[in-house]
């Protein structure tokens, strides 16, 4: 509706899923993270060109947490 925030995802169709059948279910169930190009949450872009802006920090924190476990 007009004036409300939106969540959007853009997908790369350079290497689409190769399963046969309807396109939308194939994208949802047979695609991988490499297809995600851009993501907006509540109107704010959180992924650009397939990369989260805090990707490196997230990976480092996950590695540290695993090392402590």
How far out from the chain centre does Cα 24 lie? 16
* Residue 59 CA: distances (Å) to CA of 12, 18, 42, 49: 23, 30, 24, 18
Who contacts 9 (Cβ-Cβ below 8 Å, separation ≥6)? Answer: 36, 38, 39, 40
Per-residue model confidence (pLDDT) at position 19: 67
Q: What are residue 10's DSSP bridge partners?
A: 38
- Residues lower than pLDDT 50 in the chain: none
pTM: 0.66
């Amino acid at each position: 509706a007009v004036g409300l925030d939106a969540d959007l995802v853009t997908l790369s169709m350079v290497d689409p899923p190769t399963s046969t059948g309807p396109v939308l279910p194939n994208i949802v169930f047979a695609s991988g993270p490499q297809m995600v190009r851009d993501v907006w949450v509540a109107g704010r872009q959180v992924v650009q060109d397939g990369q989260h802006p805090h990707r490196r920090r997230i990976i480092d924190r996950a590695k540290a947490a695993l090392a402590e476990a």
